[in-house]
C-alpha cells in the first residue's frame, strides 16, 4: 500500500494542475459544459479508459476493466461550482466574477482523475471500476438526472462510493458513518407579488419587501415550535432579492429557501408549515405568493456493511490512527443520497483541517489532501475488486 501512496504523492503536482485549472474556470450547476469537456479530454489521455459523456446532461462515466472478474464498483465525484464571489488571494483564484469552487468539487474531481490515471496504468484489480463525474450537485439536480438517464442500467455496479472534503475535521483523516449521515434538503423559491410604486407614496402601493421581511422572521419559528428539540432541522432564507433603488417600491420580491430535515415525519411537518406561513403572511399584507419547489429531498443513508468494509480498507491503507469509523452527521445535504437509494454503498468525509467552512467566500481546499483522496479511491478499488 505504501507504493500506492508514494506514487500518488509523486503525481500530486499533476493533480494540483487539474485542480487549479478547474478552480480558475468555475461553472454553475447543470451549466458545466467546458468543465465536462476538460474532464473528458483528460480521461481520454489515459490508456484503455472507456469514456461516455452526456449522461444526465454533462455527466461523465469512465470505465476501466482489468482481468475477467464480473464485479463492478462506482466511484463518484462532483464538479459544479457556486454563485459566490471568492475573496481569497490565491494563484489559482477564480477568474469568473461571482462564481467559485467554494465547496471543493474541483478537488474531488482532481482526486478521481488522479485515481483514474493510476488505475488505468497499473490495473492491479480484477473487474470493472466506473468513475462517475457528476454535474449539478449543489442544486440536487445532477444525481437524479444521471439516474434518470440510466446510470445504473447502462453502467451497472455492485456498490457505489462517494467522498467529500470537510473543514473542521483533522486534515488527511477519513471519517465513516453508518446509517443516516446527511439531511434531506428541499430548495424552494418563493415569489411575493405586491404593487410597485414610488417610495414617497406607500399608500398607493403594496410592498412585497415588507411582506417578505415579515415572512423571513416568521419562518424562524417553524423548527423552533414544530420540531422536537431532540431532532434536527433547519429553515434558511439564503437569498432575498427585490428592487433596484431606494426610492422605488418593488413590484415583487424573491426569497430562496434551503429546508433541511432528517426524518419523513419532520419533513412533512416543516414543509407544511412553510407553505402555511407563506400563504398567510403574504395574504395578511395584501400580496400574493407563488412557491416553486425544487427536487424533493432525500436523507443520505450509508449501507452499514459497505461502510464497515470501506473503513477497514482505509485502515489497512492509511493506518488505524487516520481512520475514524464513528464519524459525524451533518444537516448538510448531498444528491449522492439518490444514488444510495438505487445502489448500496457509502459516503465518507476527508478532513480538510482548520479552514473556513464550505460555501464561505474564503474557503480553501487544502491541496495536500489531493493524493490522500486519490489513494483512498485506488485502495478501495484494489481491495474490493481482488
Reading the block at residue 192, the C-alpha cell is 411575493
Give dist(CA 177, CA 48) in Å, integer. Answer: 34
139 closest CA partner among 185, 94, 183: 185
| Residue 27 marked as a ligand binder | no
| Residue 282 marked as a ligand binder | no
| Residue 101 marked as a ligand binder | no
Residue written as grid cell 490508456 = 47
| Torsion angles phi and psi, residue 23, rounded to 5 | -70, -35
For 281-293, give the secondary structure using H, E and C. HHHHCCCEEEEEE
Which one of 32, 106, 137, 191 is the catalytic residue? Answer: 137
H or E segment to which residue 341 belongs: helix 336-342
| Torsion angles phi and psi, residue 275, rounded to 5 | -60, -45
| Residue 105 marked as a ligand binder | yes
Which one of 27, 78, 80, 191 is the catalytic residue? Answer: 80
What DSSP character marks residue 195? Answer: B
Is position 137 annotated as part of the catalytic site?
A: yes
* 27 within 8 A of 33, measured Cβ to Cβ: yes
Q: Phi-psi region for residue 228, left (φ > 0), alpha (ψ -120 to 50) or beta?
A: beta
| Residue 138 marked as a ligand binder | yes
Give dist(CA 59, CA 330) in Å, integer. Answer: 26
Is position 80 annotated as part of the catalytic site?
A: yes
Cα 216-221-226 angle, rounded to 5 deg: 140
| Torsion angles phi and psi, residue 52, rounded to 5 | -120, 125
288 DSSP β-pair partners? 193
Give dist(CA 327, CA 263) in Å, integer. Answer: 20
Query: Judging by DSSP bridges, how do beta strands 127-134 and 72-78 pair with one another?
Result: parallel
Instruction: List the binding residues.
Output: 103, 105, 138, 164, 359
Instruction: List the binding residues for Mn(2+).
Output: 103, 105, 138, 164, 359
Active site residues: 80, 137
Amino acid at each position: 500500500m505504501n507504493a500506492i501512496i508514494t506514487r500518488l504523492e509523486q503525481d500530486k503536482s499533476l493533480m494540483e494542475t487539474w485542480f487549479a485549472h478547474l478552480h480558475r474556470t468555475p461553472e454553475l450547476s447543470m451549466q458545466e459544459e467546458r468543465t465536462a469537456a476538460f474532464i473528458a479530454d483528460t480521461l481520454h489521455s489515459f490508456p484503455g479508459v472507456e469514456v461516455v459523456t452526456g449522461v444526465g446532461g454533462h455527466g461523465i462515466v469512465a470505465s476501466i476493466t482489468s482481468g475477467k472478474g464480473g464485479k463492478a464498483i462506482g466511484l463518484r465525484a462532483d464538479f459544479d461550482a457556486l454563485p459566490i464571489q471568492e475573496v481569497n488571494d490565491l494563484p489559482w483564484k477564480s477568474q469568473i466574477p461571482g462564481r467559485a469552487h467554494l465547496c471543493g468539487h474541483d478537488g474531488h474531481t482532481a482526486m478521481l482523475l488522479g485515481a483514474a490515471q493510476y488505475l488505468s496504468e497499473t490495473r492491479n484489480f480484477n473487474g470493472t471500476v466506473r468513475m462517475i463525474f457528476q454535474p449539478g450537485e449543489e442544486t440536487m439536480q445532477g444525481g437524479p438526472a444521471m439516474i434518470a438517464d440510466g446510470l445504473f442500467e447502462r453502467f451497472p455496479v455492485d456498490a457505489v462510493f462517494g467522498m467529500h472534503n470537510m473543514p473542521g475535521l483533522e486534515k488527511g483523516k477519513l471519517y465513516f458513518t453508518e446509517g443516516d449521515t446527511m439531511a434531506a434538503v428541499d430548495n424552494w423559491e418563493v415569489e411575493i407579488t405586491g404593487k410597485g410604486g414610488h417610495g414617497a407614496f406607500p399608500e398607493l402601493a403594496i410592498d412585497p419587501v415588507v411582506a417578505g421581511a415579515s415572512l423571513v422572521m416568521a419562518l424562524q419559528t417553524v423548527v423552533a415550535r414544530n420540531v422536537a428539540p431532540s431532532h434536527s432541522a433547519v429553515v434558511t432564507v439564503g437569498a432575498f432579492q427585490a428592487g433596484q433603488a431606494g426610492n422605488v417600491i418593488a413590484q415583487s420580491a424573491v426569497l430562496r429557501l434551503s429546508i433541511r430535515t432528517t426524518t419523513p415525519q419532520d419533513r412533512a411537518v416543516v414543509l407544511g408549515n412553510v407553505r402555511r406561513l407563506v400563504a398567510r403572511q403574504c395574504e395578511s399584507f395584501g400580496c400574493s405568493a407563488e412557491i416553486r419547489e425544487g427536487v424533493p429531498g432525500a436523507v443520505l443513508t450509508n449501507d452499514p456493511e459497505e461502510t464497515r468494509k470501506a473503513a477497514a480498507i482505509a485502515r489497512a491503507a492509511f493506518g488505524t490512527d487516520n481512520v475514524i469509523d464513528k464519524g459525524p452527521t451533518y444537516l448538510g445535504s448531498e444528491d449522492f443520497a439518490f444514488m444510495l437509494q438505487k445502489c448500496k454503498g457509502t459516503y465518507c468525509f476527508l478532513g480538510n483541517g482548520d479552514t473556513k467552512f464550505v460555501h464561505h467566500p474564503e474557503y480553501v481546499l487544502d491541496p495536500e489532501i489531493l493524493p490522500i483522496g486519490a489513494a483512498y479511491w485506488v485502495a478501495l478499488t484494489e481491495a474490493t475488486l481482488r
